[in-house]
Amino acid sequence: MRFKNKYKDSHITELNLVPLMDVLMTVLTFFIIVSMTLTNQQGSLDIELPPTQSAAGATKENVPDPLFIGINKDGEILILNQRVTKEKMAQEIQLYLTAKPEGAVILKADRKLSYEKVIEILGEMKEIGGDRVSLAIDQK
């Protein structure tokens, strides 16, 4: 007695992985391009910053009585430990620079403050004071 194979002419189905690999490669390429774009937007520069001792010494020697403007961790602008608005800060800087043409304005920002906020305030100060505006650093 012979048994006939019902599935004699049928083929075993195979899973075709080529379309799956194409989709995975496309998604991988997309994420690589996006990550490269994001890293280029950070604008990393290959520069060496000056040591803190020479920068602090130059400020102390050249400017006998600088105007200090502070920003606390909440982003509030302080002049002589009193909160002021950006408009009042601009007025104070202009008054100081007209009274002391050789003076400098120094921004003291809290370490926990976001860098974007520091750059924003420093940019506004630079529009008023030009090259006589600088950022205070901590000597360690």
Distances (CA, A) of 43 to 18, 37, 114, 124: 39, 11, 17, 21
Convert the pLDDT of each residue in 28-51 to its tens digit.
Answer: 999 999 888 776 554 444 444 445
Tens of pLDDT, residues 97-124: 888 888 888 888 887 888 888 888 888 8
For the chain, list the domains and their CATH numbers: 52-135 (3.30.420.270)
Which pTM was predicted? 0.53
Instruction: Return the bridge partners of 1, or none.
Output: none
DSSP 130: G
Identity of residue 94: Q
